[in-house]
Structure 1
Amino acid sequence: MRALWLLLSLAVISALPYALASNQALAIKETSIKESAIKRITSQYPWYQWQTVGQATLTWGLWDIYNSELKTPTGKYSGLDTDLALIIRYLRDIDKDDLLQATNEQWQHLGYSKQQITPWLTTLSAIWPNVKKGNRLIFVQRNGIGQFYQGTQPLGKPLSKSLTRSFIAIWLSPKTDYPELRKQLINQ
């Protein structure tokens, strides 16, 4: 019995370096895969590496609705027409129709006409999903053209310049309905 235990112990001890080497190789491979994925994502979506300008939470009554983050290539906000990414992480489930209604109300507050708003809402209705708690919608503006993403997946096609500008104005226009949120996002 003692000889069997000694033999098993030797077998385990002699296999240990191979197991450790195998684990190291696996860890290196996993790190390489992660680095490769990060490089692929940041080359396709450079805004992932942009710097944060500011962050804010929208609260309505007693409820936190979403956290938002504004990013730019430099980490500084220099106007509505600059390259930027607005990342919104929802803190509750919100139906797409409720998002559209809130967007419509904000555009009316900013003074856009019904003739302008109607086609914009039609476009957004075709691409926006219902959002669940924890979902992130990302709006990226590059060279005046906007694109929505859910994670790294584009939602719909790139937006017109007028829809791009009007959408980002909801958060960043000096006339926004939420001036404190704007100040936090643009870091003022």
Structure 2
Amino acid sequence: MRALWLLLSLVVITAPPALASNQAPTITETSNKESAIKSVTSQYPWYQWKTVGQATLTWGLWDIYNSELKTPTGKYSGLDSNLALIIRYLRDIDKDDLLQATNEQWQHLGYSKQQITPWLTTLSAIWPNVKKGDRLIFVQRNGIGQFYQGTQPLGKPLSKSLTRSFIAIWLSPKTDYPELRKQLINQ
């Protein structure tokens, strides 16, 4: 159980200020918000994708993170589909712990050390530590994954094999957390 909650230190994403306000907007603010939304959604269409499912990982008495799976249609059709996995952390997690947890999950899924080692090297170069409240996002489009910090890409797009193996941690039928998977894919 420790492994998956540690895993999710992908990228920190926060909504642009124009999208995050809870106050009643003025006409000018409304216009600015609409402009910001159009700008963000044209460059990052996953902001508009529909939620497939949501889940919270709990370990013992502690909630570790809230997760949300989004796709263009709001339906999950398999590991190769276009999707966004958004994580909101409820605890601080060190990058090294996330890498260790990722390694454990890939071993659980049956990947070899020869496959895992270069993937961990790639992730080590781009993953930050996460803090409570950080929002992280992993976007997969046309079989290629990308991590984001805010609206900026974090690192380069990932290989298809790393993309597929990363999302398999949550969405493979062999996941270590089948109940979380069921909630995310809405089964």
**Greater Cα shift, 23-32 or 138-147:** 23-32
Distance 1:11 1:119 in 2: 19
- Distance change (3 Å), C-alpha of 1:22 and 1:109: closer
Which has the higher relative contact order, 1 or 2, with Cα contacts under 8 A spaced 6 or more apart?
A: 2
**Larger-gyration structure (1/2):** 1
Q: Name the TM-score, length of structure 1 as normaliser.
A: 0.85
2:13 paired with 1:13: yes
- Distance change (3 Å), C-alpha of 1:185 and 1:40: same
Distance 1:9 1:112 in 2: 20
Verify the 8 A CA contact 2:12 2:148 in the aligned structure 1: no
- Distance change (3 Å), C-alpha of 1:184 and 1:29: same
- Distance change (3 Å), C-alpha of 1:135 and 1:111: same
Distance 1:60 1:5 in 2: 8
- Distance change (3 Å), C-alpha of 1:59 and 1:36: same
Local SS of the residue matching 1:23: coil
Superposed CA RMSD: 17.3
Deviation at 1:27, TM superposition (A): 2.7
1:94-113 aligned at under 5 Å gives the runs 94-113=93-112
Distance 1:36 1:47 in 2: 17
Distance 2:115 2:11 in 1: 77
The share of aligned pairs that are identical, in percent, is 93
Give the total of aligned pairs. 187
Distance 1:6 1:171 in 2: 13
Deviation at 1:49, TM superposition (A): 0.4
Deviation at 1:28, TM superposition (A): 2.3
Q: Name the TM-score, length of structure 2 as normaliser.
A: 0.85
Structure 1: which 4+ aligned runs deviate by more than 6 Å?
A: 1-15, 17-26
Higher helix share: 1
- Distance change (3 Å), C-alpha of 1:5 and 1:41: closer
Can you list the C-alpha shifts for 1:125-181, whole angstroms capped at 9, x where unaligned? Answer: 111110000101100000000001123221111000000000000000000000000
- Distance change (3 Å), C-alpha of 1:104 and 1:6: closer
**Greater Cα shift, 103-112 or 18-27:** 18-27
- Distance change (3 Å), C-alpha of 1:164 and 1:26: closer
Deviation at 1:29, TM superposition (A): 2.0
